Amino acid sequence: MSELGNKRVIITGASKGIGRAIVERLAAEKCAMALFARSGDLLADRVSYCEKKGGRARAFVCDVGVESQVESQFAAAIKWLGGVDCLVSNAGLGYFARFDELSVSQFDEMITTNLRGPFLCAKATVPKMKEAGDGLIINIASIAGKYGSESGSGYCASKFGLMGMNECMGMDLRTLGIRVSAICPGSVNAPDFRMGRITKIKPEDMIQADDIAEAVVYLLRQPSRIFIREMEVRVTRAS
């Protein structure tokens, strides 16, 4: 069995893109996984995949921006897992438009999913980690949480907020044995990241979802005595 085979992991946004890749990579490591997304059908496919690989997984349909859903579904997931060693907050979305053309509803949806979601998910997870005196929270952020860009005002606002929260969480929780890390990808070849964006980078030269999955595994392999606050993942051929 893999050295990560005893890890119990909750993954949000697990049905497609980066989340799908993380699920497949951790299935290869034989992790036990609670898979969260809004689409039950897509999650069922991921559970089936994990079982075929000899892993253990269960689907939990949930909108991470809705407090009541997060509270009930995370409680059920942690009970099923028998605890939780790692939370991967990956659920996210982006609308890209010039500031004066970005709608209020689009702005609100990004803030709710990309910032409120990780906050609620961590709040639902931390008590069990605190009880165990150990745990890892990985927030899938973005380069857009560190640097502004044209047509990215709402998306950047949500990810800048996530990066600020990530840093403060790390300070607050480290004394409890809980480590908090952020992964900040650049241009990812995934539909949820490319939505509405114009890039001159060839798809094969972009960051692949599998690359971010490998970064998650790297963080999981680190000893509990240390934590990596931030990983910035860049494209090599960006011209």
Give me the catalytic one of 49, 147, 155, 218.
Answer: 155
Residue of 127, 213, 221 whose CA lies nearest to 233? 213
Q: Does residue 236 contact residue 188 with C-beta atoms inside 8 Å?
A: no
Whole-number Å distance between alpha carbons of 231 and 234: 10
Give Cβ neighbours of residue 18 (< 8 Å, ≥ 6 apart). 90, 140, 185, 188, 190, 192, 193, 209, 212, 213
Beta bridge partner(s), residue 207: 188
Specify whether 147 is catalytic.
no
d(CA 234, CA 25): 20
Query: How far are the Cα atoms of 107, 195, 200, 207 from residue 162, in angstroms, in the given order?
Result: 15, 20, 27, 21
Strand partners, 57: 33
User: Residue 155 half-sphere exposure, CB side, CA atoms within 13 Å?
Assistant: 23
> Can you list the alpha helix ranges (DSSP code H) found in 102-173?
104-111, 117-132, 153-173
Q: Which residues are catalytic?
A: 155
